[in-house]
Structure 1
Amino acid sequence: MKLREWKKMLAGAAVLVLAAAASPAEAAVSVDPVPGMTDSFIRGADVSMLPDLERAGVKFYDMDGTQMDELAIMKKYGVNWIRLRIWNHPSQGGGGGAMNAKKALGVTKRAHALGMKVLLDFHYSDTWADPGHQITPTSWKNHNIEQLKADVHDFTRETLEYFADEDELPEMVQIGNEITNGMLWPVGQLPAKDDGRAFAGLVEAGLSAVHELDKAHAVKTMIHIDRGGDNALYHRFFDQLITRNGVRDFDVIGVSFYPFWNGRTKALEENLTDISARYGKEVCVAETAYGFTLDNYDRQGNLFTAKEAGMGGYRVSPQGQAQAVRDVMAAVAAVPDGRGIGVFYWEPDWVAIPDAVRDNQLSGWENLALFDKNGRALESWKVFSDVQSR
């Protein structure tokens, strides 16, 4: 057998091993506690799809089959924060879910009633905003930099005033989502000939709106980019934003870290330790996830496939899923001086909807959810409670 054929066979075998025991019905999930983890450590989840899932008739069940409100299930298993994105006018954009300020307020009320805290994630777009897409809202189209700074400021302030009027201010606000390559393209796109000055002005406009409304700085503010293990990227981005453009008045550096896309958790821990000291900021994993199966339950292709499983380093099972999240939590908790403040799991509820017709009801994420295809909670939920020493 030729060497390359032998290597190919070994690689295929590795994927099969990782994918083994993909059924949620395997042995009980076991999670080793992270020493020294405090009650205040964020054990959170982004549930921005929840209103649309409920409207489509999705029901959620505890591990024993009891139907429950999803937020109540999360609370039961130790989740203490939720994260909610806000799109400007979702009807103009399309995509997964139509989360706007009104829907976000409704979920915020439910979370606060359960004693959970809330992170609001402003995308400043009518649809998904990430390193490959930062589409300016339709109503702001063709605005120049000064107009866009006013747009960002006013939209942020008006949204928070809407929450404040109901006594439901969030505990943290995110100015932009995965803004590694800037925001509100093309005006705020990075890299830029002005060394990011226009982009920095947009970020500053959002931060100032939060601080004007919250003069006591009780609401934390976050700046969030992706590729959480890429230390060189974080130096380039935050040296430009903070050191050269003077945007310092925020509390938290948020990172996205998916083990199957972004490497090993050791790199994450080293990056977080470095940047928390270098910039004097708290750090938080704003997004992470891992798959529990390779099965696909709708006609939308899954984002987590055998390829990602081979790169992820964990078994494709509820146990592997829980272990991946536990290791990310441990990496954050290891940041010195208590500056590693927590982790959010991205969209644990985005299950496939049977016989879905509309595009925003299709999911490429259902095998990364923390519920099975029938909406029943997986044992991997236990990571949120069992990770804390008792």
Structure 2
Amino acid sequence: MIFTTKWYETVEPAGCKQRQSIVKALGLALGLLFSGHALSQNLVTNPGFENGASGWNTSGTTSAQIIESSGRSGNRLTHWSADSSYTVSTYQTITGLTPGTYRLSAYTIGGNTDDATLFASNCGNQNSQTAIPAAAWGNWTQVVLDNIQVTGSSCTIGIYTQNSDWTSIDDVNFELQSPPPGSGNDTAVEILAGKGFNYARIRLLVTPPDSYALHQDLDYVIAMAKEAKANNMNILLDIFYSNWWADPGQNWAPAEWFNQDVNTLENTVYNYTRDVLNQMAAEGVLPNMVQIGNEVNPGMLWNLGNISDNGWGNFVRFTNSGYDAVKSVSNNIPVIIHYAGVGSSATSWYASYTNNGGKMDAIGLSFYEMWHGTINDATTTISSLHSYFNVPVYMVETAAYWTSSDAGSTTSYPQTKQGQYDYLFDLTNAVKNINGFAGLFYWGATWTQSNNWLNAPDWQDDDAATRSLFDSNAQVNPAASAIVDAGGLSIRGVDISEAHYIESNGVEYLDN
């Protein structure tokens, strides 16, 4: 017997509130199955409740959770209360997961389960649940929730009951159904690694809004880093210290940090940075380089870190706190301070930064021809910066159009696939022999088919899609090979921050 599984925007293990918005109904084959599945590696702790409730958490009417004997195998979990009204959730968060498609199952027996569900939440982009039906006493029946998409490295699974006569559960199972991104064919990261990119740049936000292409919390970043590492790519971690886009026009502190004073915020930056790196190290993906802030021309962690309002002092305290946190984890990780633009203003900015005590191991520049000038302007700036500060200089962002700019931007290179290739080839040739130049990173490489995934109603254009290294069919562009074709760069980087989210929304990247 097969039922339809429904996907929900909000499924809360702590209380499981009733207000839930259905956003997608899966096909019948992905539903609630009553059958005997032979599942593989079970990732659940204490799945049969043989150790009581060890490994499980309870919320709601905790007295309604009972561990009883006479289970399918040993003990069983029962939700029941003599009270006229109750809600209870029994759940656990499974960590260290590889992104992919998972299955959750459990056995149920007897009862009157008018409002009992098996759920998976906080696994990535969507949460899911399905009803636990009544089953004849003495006949243990398996309930299966298929096609759970895990895009980060953790998932919360559990059982929720509200005002049910009683519900009994045993032998909970959570397993990987299908290979993760990167283990099959033609993921974006695989394709880009195959074109010669050997460094992945990934942005990290504190609490991203899950819209406007901002989905990169720590779980997501760890999952992306694992795929990059699996494809022999090193990691440049770009820490935004924000919940929103950080650039020369906006660099706001996260809402949860906004009311902190300078001393508290300085400590928060240190602790947050150190915790991020320690968690990534524990997952085997300690970054090879770290950016403290993104395009910090106006400072960061506004308003306290806004240079125009408060001078350089607060901003430098914040960047130095991040710098020190990185070094407390590993003294071998270079720290980059990132400025958007080229020309004398870049040299003046870094002079002010260092004169005010700012720490850095390397300089990172954004250079876009449509906004910042010519390739010659960029090479002159790189030479000047290395000569003045004697640190490596990276171009951590650049891009060019493969089709007409959606924003109407003008460039000296034709806005065609050949023009995109020529720009990147010429840029690589121009910078590769500059003393002190260390590496080049392409921004927005995987940004394609935005109608499938981009929730950004206030944006007036989708200019990033016209600068991607994949066309509107998600076919890789010739420019993806331009850096290798030009030769001479040991660090060939690409920003992959959107890749997993785009793939989880059905976009299939194509190699040539």
Q: TM-score, normalised by structure 1?
A: 0.74
Matches within 5 A, 1:231-246: 231=344, 233-243=345-355, 245-246=356-357
Q: Deviations over 1:125-151 (max 9, x none)?
A: 001000101111011011111111111
User: How many Å apart are 1:384 and its aligned residue?
Assistant: 2.8
- Cα separation, 2, equivalents of 1:360 and 1:70: 25
Aligned residue number for residue 210 of structure 1: 326
Aligned residue number for residue 264 of structure 2: 147
Could you tell me whether the CA contact under 8 Å between 2:347 and 2:381 is conserved in 1? no
Could you tell me whether the CA contact under 8 Å between 1:171 and 1:220 is conserved in 2? yes
Give yes or no for the alignment of 1:258 onto 2:406. Answer: no
User: How many Å apart are 1:327 and its aligned residue?
Assistant: 2.6
Matches within 5 A, 1:164-243: 164-192=281-309, 195-214=311-330, 217-227=331-341, 229-231=342-344, 233-243=345-355
Q: 1:343 aligns with which of 419, 435, 440?
A: 440
Q: 2:392 aligns with which of 273, 282, 289?
A: 282
Q: 2:381 aligns with which of 228, 246, 271?
A: 271
Q: 1:115 aligns with which of 232, 235, 238?
A: 232
- For the residue of structure 1 that corresponds to 2:315, the secondary structure is helix
Aligned residue number for residue 86 of structure 1: 204
Could you tell me whether the CA contact under 8 Å between 1:180 and 1:226 is conserved in 2? yes
C-alpha distance 364-224 of structure 1, shift in aligned 2 (>3 A):
same
- Cα separation, 1, equivalents of 2:486 and 2:337: 26
Aligned residue pairs, count: 309
Q: Deviations over 1:92-143 (max 9, x none)?
A: x842231111111111111111111110000000010001011110110111
- For the residue of structure 2 that corresponds to 1:88, the secondary structure is coil
Which residue type is aligned with residue 79 of structure 1?
F
User: How many Å apart are 1:356 and its aligned residue?
Assistant: 5.3
- Cα separation, 1, equivalents of 2:214 and 2:463: 13
Give yes or no for the alignment of 1:104 onto 2:104. Answer: no
Matches within 5 A, 1:71-82: 71-82=189-200
Q: Deviations over 1:203-255 (max 9, x none)?
A: 000000000011xx22111000101x222x12322122112x2223x221000
- For the residue of structure 1 that corresponds to 2:441, the secondary structure is strand
- Cα separation, 1, equivalents of 2:324 and 2:371: 34
- Look at both structures and tell me which one has the larger radius of gyration over its CA atoms: 2
- For the residue of structure 2 that corresponds to 1:90, the secondary structure is coil
User: How many Å apart are 1:389 and its aligned residue?
Assistant: 6.1
Q: Deviations over 1:256-285 (max 9, x none)?
A: 000111110111111110111101110011
Q: Name which structure has the greater RCO, CA cutoff 8 Å, separation 6+.
A: 1
- Cα separation, 1, equivalents of 2:458 and 2:214: 8
Aligned residue number for residue 273 of structure 2: 156
Q: Percent identity?
A: 27
Give yes or no for the alignment of 1:352 onto 2:449. Answer: yes
Could you tell me whether the CA contact under 8 Å between 2:433 and 2:488 is conserved in 1? no
**Which structure has more strand as a fraction of its residues?**
2
C-alpha distance 264-109 of structure 1, shift in aligned 2 (>3 A):
same
- Cα separation, 1, equivalents of 2:269 and 2:240: 10
- Cα separation, 1, equivalents of 2:474 and 2:322: 37
Q: TM-score, normalised by structure 2?
A: 0.57
Could you tell me whether the CA contact under 8 Å between 1:332 and 1:341 is conserved in 2? no
- Cα separation, 2, equivalents of 1:171 and 1:164: 11
Which residue type is aligned with residue 76 of structure 1?
G
Could you tell me whether the CA contact under 8 Å between 1:284 and 1:332 is conserved in 2? no
User: How many Å apart are 1:67 and its aligned residue?
Assistant: 5.7
- In structure 1, stretches of 5+ residues that fail to align are 1-50, 57-65, 296-301
Could you tell me whether the CA contact under 8 Å between 1:352 and 1:361 is conserved in 2? no
Could you tell me whether the CA contact under 8 Å between 2:295 and 2:340 is conserved in 1? yes
- Cα separation, 2, equivalents of 1:118 and 1:389: 20
Q: Deviations over 1:275-309 (max 9, x none)?
A: 111011100111100111127xxxxxx33x2xx23
Aligned residue number for residue 387 of structure 1: 486
User: How many Å apart are 1:378 and its aligned residue?
Assistant: 1.4
User: How many Å apart are 1:55 and its aligned residue?
Assistant: 8.9
Could you tell me whether the CA contact under 8 Å between 1:118 and 1:172 is conserved in 2? yes
C-alpha distance 360-114 of structure 1, shift in aligned 2 (>3 A):
farther
Q: Deviations over 1:330-363 (max 9, x none)?
A: 3332321xx1011111011111234557338984
Could you tell me whether the CA contact under 8 Å between 2:404 and 2:416 is conserved in 1? no
- Cα separation, 2, equivalents of 1:144 and 1:285: 34
- For the residue of structure 2 that corresponds to 1:247, the secondary structure is coil
User: How many Å apart are 1:90 and its aligned residue?
Assistant: 0.6
- For the residue of structure 1 that corresponds to 2:269, the secondary structure is helix
- Cα separation, 1, equivalents of 2:454 and 2:150: 14
Which residue type is aligned with residue 209 of structure 1?
A
Could you tell me whether the CA contact under 8 Å between 2:432 and 2:488 is conserved in 1? no
- In structure 2, stretches of 5+ residues that fail to align are 1-123, 126-148, 152-183, 490-512
Aligned residue number for residue 24 of structure 1: none
Q: 1:332 aligns with which of 431, 441, 464?
A: 431
* Larger CA deviation: 146-155 vs 323-332: 323-332
